[in-house]
Amino acid sequence: DGGITQSPKYLFRKEGQNVTLSCEQNLNHDAMYWYRQDPGQGLRLIYYSQIVNDFQKGDIAEGYSVSREKKESFPLTVTSAQKNPTAFYLCASSSRQRRETQYFGPGTRLLVL
């Protein structure tokens, strides 16, 4: 089945620790996105990538980093510089033919210990 997978479903971070959230898609989509959602809030764009080896900052990129070495993978690292990382993280992708339409993965919930 084609789709977007995110792992892990839950992730715990200790103070000062970097953690990496995985996002993989087998839809052959060119563009991929990372969003953050805080409780009771809408989505905010962290980073996006329209093509392999290229990515752009979104509205709240500080404290996060990404890489796009493969078309199907777009991992997000939450660095220790992100002081309030507790949130729900959603990955999305869109095709070149339908760039305006994003499809989402199941999300990763990050909690700080």
Partner 1 sequence: AQKVTQAQTEISVVEKEDVTLDCVYETRDTTYYLFWYKQPPSGELVFLIRRNSFDEQNEISGRYSWNFQKSTSSFNFTITASQVVDSAVYFCALSVTDSNYQLIWGAGTKLIIKP
Footprint (CB under 8 A) of partner 1, residues 62-101: 88, 90, 92, 94, 99-101
For residue 20, give the amino acid letter. T
Six-digit token pair at 81?
Answer: 């510089």
Task: Give min distance, CB of 18 to partner 1, in A.
Answer: 23
Residues 6+ apart with CB under 8 A from 109: 9, 10, 11, 87, 88, 89
Task: List the interface residues with partner 1, window 27-56 (CB under 8 A).
Answer: 41-43, 45, 48, 50
What is the C-alpha separation between 74 and 11, in angstroms, rounded? 17
Site membership for partner 1, residue 106 (CB under 8 A): yes
Q: Hey, how many other C-beta atoms are within 10 angstroms of the C-beta on 49? A: 20
Least separation in angstroms between CB 84 and partner 1 = 19
- By the criterion CB under 8 A, which residues form the site for partner 1? 41-43, 45, 48, 50, 58, 88, 90, 92, 94, 99-107, 109
